A and B are shown apart, each in its own frame.
Chain A
Amino acid sequence: MSSVHLIVGTKKGGFVYTSDEKRQRWELSEPILPGWSVFHGVADVRSGSPRYFLAANHWAWGPSVAKSSDLKEWDYRSPGLAFPKDIGVAVQNVWNVQPGAQDQPGVVYAGTQPAGLFRSDDLGESWTSVDSINRHEYRKYWFGSGGGDSALHSIVIDPRDAKHMYVAISSGGTYQSHDGGDTWELCSRKWDVLATPETRQFMADQEATFAEAIGAFMANVPQLPENVDPAAADEMHKLAIDTKRPDRLWTQTHVGVFRSDDSAATWVGVTEGLPSFHGFPIAVTKRAPDAAFVVPLEFERDNFRVSSGQFAVYRTRDDGNTWDRLADGLPGPQSYQSVYREGLDTDGLDPEGVYAGTSNGQVFASADGGDHWQRLPGDLPPILSVSCAVV
């Protein structure tokens, strides 16, 4: 019988929950790399024995991709994880780590802040800068948003074609490669963003409210090329591919939830029916039946950015046309939590489990597609990521 691992990254270390396939009883590990900020963790199950990678960053020891084959011994040396000197920036944090395609068993990618993509061909022993993106002509338009400098937070690989990849940068747009990362094209500029009256009004309000701050900021930012919609180049918070149907992408952006059915050629806004267009994570089932999950946050001019008293996950089973509010077993009232961009995942089992980790260190699991939720043991440091592995 397989076991299910939840790899949880927190502001102060990693943790692993373990259960059998019934997913009723969970055990929590001791902290892994305590004191490191673990922005993201992933199990690489391409070969027989799993390997684990953590995007682990330490205030004194710097950024790393830590690796382990037993979840006990961790090697955080990451030689080569640095921009070429002439780019003039230093890696501050690793935000995301992503195993390569099935037919490239040694390949691992890492996304960093300031925005950068790095590739390892030897399972994380050494790293090289992917200069095609790190020196992209649009780099000058990349800038930080709420979380410091720009960051490359999503790395998506088409399961049919290792050469077909996407990377999403906050703020700076989302880019697609068809040639294994030799060339990249901006693919977020074509989406039909700001489709709803609410999001249009929101953007207008923001511009009015923050006119002075935006003006001061924009004075230092080069103007975008003429054919790029500045709203589109702005920011996806999380980009996900539907591995069941890889022409389909989902994204939770700063200003709405969007779906593409043609590999980012066109985008449809599917925010209607959600209580808010703002949020961070998005997750999609790995097997049929199809479902996508988001966690809308309150976000007005005041920047409150929490669930509104009752913590709720929203699910669509019809491509975003309608959304179900899921709250059974989730905390409230008077619960003001958030979920960060890597804080939501599905496990690919049948029935498919869904997991959410909160800014308040709480982990919730549903073994029935979100209808009922159970709180897992522990009060962890603020949770930055939750990632499932069936091993």
Chain B
Amino acid sequence: MPSVRLLIGTRKAGFIYTSDEKRQSWRISEPILPGWQIFHMAADLRNGNEHFYAGGKHAVWGPLIARSSDGGKTWDVRSEGLGFPEEMKLAIDAVWNVRPGHESQPGVVWAGTAPAGLFRSEDWGVSWRSIESVNLHENRRFWQPIAGGPTDGGPPVQSIAIDPRDPDHMYVAISGAYVTLDGCESWRLFSHRAISTSPQAEIFISQIAGNTPPGIDPAAAHDMHKLLIDVKNPDRLWTQAHVGVFRSDDGGRSWTDVTPELASFHGFPIAVTKHDPDAAYIVPLDAGTDNFRTCHGQFAVYRSRDAGASWDRLTDGLPGPNDYQSAYREGMDTDGLDPEGVYVGTSNGQVYASIDGGDHWERLPGTLPPVLSVTAIA
């Protein structure tokens, strides 16, 4: 009975790795939904179910949230109701994020799209409806397209996070990140309180100046590439933003820039352990004015065990020298086992696993299409 699985989204299909709890030997599936660009996959294990969701797009058939209830063998691609209200005159390009809802709301599933849209299902992902409080938000006109997203209609919903203590308390990261405390009735911007201190980030900051809502510091972390909640300590949020790595210990009210000890302020994914001991992981990328955005020669994951005060550079078993890979925003996850496994997938289709918190890494079999997401289930 396989007990650990990695759901992998890639630019041309999904894949599933399986292993037992020792996590020493991994098998890879055949391609799932080949030809579909799978931005993110999620597993929903509530109420004794096992639903897998895959969010993405197809060059011809458009956006999708596919659903499997047989461990990934067959998929329902209908994505009923997944569309903006007509008056918005806006088409969904792709689904970037799928997130099972709060434990107390079985059947509820959330999806984030590009251009920015939040959608909710109440029937385990069979049908969807638009959440107008986000999709018609007054700040929408300030939402700027990002590299890698569609050129028209604004940026994607990059992250959805839910407070494990309170289903009415959620976060979404778009162009600017927003919080609701009332179950999606109203959303407040909070990312403007995370102010970059990195001098190198100025070039990026200057690029977005002028496109921020009135009264907002252009140095704020508008573009949170990945936002997540520390489920062990749910007042704590982490984000890898375009202009730095930030931590909040009070639900996003105030932020500390924890970038200074890192190789670069720039990167995409961030992962946090689900059990003690605490650790956070990121993959800094080279990002000068030239937009190189790769690890430069040696692929390295950085780990902090002291809330970002210091970072360890982890490379044992990771590829280099002459290695110019990247990891995308959903490309890293932890498995919640003891000791806790960490997994990272790269732009070159390589997947690495560590079962000792990142000290040593092993490459899993296969050279996949560019890996867009890694989701660990134990």
CA gap between A35 and B287 in the complex, in Å: 9
Complex: chain B residue closest to A33, CB-CB? B290
CA gap between A31 and B286 in the complex, in Å: 12
CA gap between A28 and B321 in the complex, in Å: 10
Known: A146-B59, A331-B367, A361-B325. A381 touches B31 (CB 8 A): no
Q: What does the 1/0 interface line of B1-44 toward A look like (CB < 8 Å)?
A: 00000000010110000000000000010010111100000000
CA gap between A336 and B30 in the complex, in Å: 11
Q: Kindly provide the distance from the CB of B358 to the nearest chain A CB, expressed in whole angstroms.
A: 20
CA gap between A10 and B368 in the complex, in Å: 18
Instruction: Select the residue from B28, B293, B322 with max chain A CB neighbours within 10 A.
Output: B322
CA gap between A12 and B292 in the complex, in Å: 6
A-B CB pair tally, cutoff 8 Å: 102
Which chain A residues numbered 133 to 154 have a C-beta less than 8 Å away from chain B?
146
Q: Kindly provide the distance from the CB of A327 to the nearest chain B CB, expressed in whole angstroms.
A: 14
**Residues on A with beta carbons closer than 8 Å to the beta carbon of B10:** 336
Q: What is the interface size of chain A, counting residues whose CB is below 8 A from a CB of the partner? A: 39
Which chain A residues numbered 210 to 252 have a C-beta less than 8 Å away from chain B?
210, 213
Q: Kindly provide the distance from the CB of B246 to the nearest chain A CB, expressed in whole angstroms.
A: 25
**Residues on B with beta carbons closer than 8 Å to the beta carbon of A331:** 367
**Residues on B with beta carbons closer than 8 Å to the beta carbon of A303:** 35, 58-60
Residue A318 CB within 8 A of the other chain: no
**Residues on A with beta carbons closer than 8 Å to the beta carbon of B349:** 336-337, 360
Residue B319 CB within 8 A of the other chain: yes
A35 touches B291 (CB 8 A): yes
B323 touches A34 (CB 8 A): no
Known: A34-B292, A35-B292, A334-B365. A302 touches B34 (CB 8 A): yes
CA gap between A331 and B349 in the complex, in Å: 13
Which chain A residues numbered 333 to 389 have a C-beta less than 8 Å away from chain B?
334-337, 359-362, 377-382
Q: Kindly provide the distance from the CB of A116 to the nearest chain B CB, expressed in whole angstroms.
A: 21
Q: Which of B36, B294, B365, B370 contacts A12 (CB 8 A)?
A: B294
Q: Kindly provide the distance from the CB of B349 to the nearest chain A CB, expressed in whole angstroms.
A: 5
A306 touches B292 (CB 8 A): no
Q: Kindly provide the distance from the CB of B248 to the nearest chain A CB, expressed in whole angstroms.
A: 31
Known: A35-B293, A334-B365, A334-B366. A360 touches B34 (CB 8 A): no
Q: Kindly provide the distance from the CB of B81 to the nearest chain A CB, expressed in whole angstroms.
A: 20
**Residues on A with beta carbons closer than 8 Å to the beta carbon of B288:** 35
Q: Which of A28, A31, A335, A382 contacts B292 (CB 8 A)?
A: A31
CA gap between A303 and B290 in the complex, in Å: 32
Q: What does the 1/0 interface line of B89-127 toward A look like (CB < 8 Å)?
A: 000000000000000000000000000000000000000
**Residues on A with beta carbons closer than 8 Å to the beta carbon of B323:** 378-379
Q: Kindly provide the distance from the CB of A123 to the nearest chain B CB, expressed in whole angstroms.
A: 25
Q: Kindly provide the distance from the CB of A359 to the nearest chain B CB, expressed in whole angstroms.
A: 8
Known: A302-B35, A303-B59, A360-B367. A31 touches B324 (CB 8 A): yes
Q: Which of A58, A304, A337 contacts B367 (CB 8 A)?
A: A337
Known: A304-B12, A304-B13. A335 touches B366 (CB 8 A): yes
Q: What is the interface size of chain B, counting residues whose CB is below 8 A from a CB of the partner? A: 37
A13 touches B368 (CB 8 A): no
Which chain B residues numbered 332 to 378 have a C-beta less than 8 Å away from chain A?
346-350, 365-370
Residue B88 CB within 8 A of the other chain: no
**Residues on A with beta carbons closer than 8 Å to the beta carbon of B346:** 379
**Residues on A with beta carbons closer than 8 Å to the beta carbon of B350:** 379
Complex: chain A residue closest to B207, CB-CB? A60
CA gap between A306 and B12 in the complex, in Å: 8
Known: A146-B59, A379-B322, A379-B325. A336 touches B13 (CB 8 A): yes
A335 touches B367 (CB 8 A): yes
CA gap between A379 and B366 in the complex, in Å: 15
CA gap between A313 and B296 in the complex, in Å: 30
- Residues on A facing B (Cβ under 8 Å): 10, 12-13, 28, 31, 33-36, 58-60, 146, 209-210, 213, 298, 300-306, 331, 334-337, 359-362, 377-382
List 4 tightest A-B contacts by C-beta distance, closest first: A302-B35, A35-B290, A378-B322, A334-B366
Show 28 A/B contacts (Cβ-Cβ < 8 Å), sorted by A.
A10-B324, A12-B292, A12-B294, A31-B292, A34-B292, A35-B292, A36-B290, A59-B147, A146-B59, A210-B60, A302-B35, A302-B58, A303-B58, A305-B12, A306-B369, A334-B367, A336-B12, A336-B349, A336-B366, A337-B349, A337-B367, A360-B349, A360-B367, A360-B370, A379-B323, A381-B325, A381-B347, A382-B347
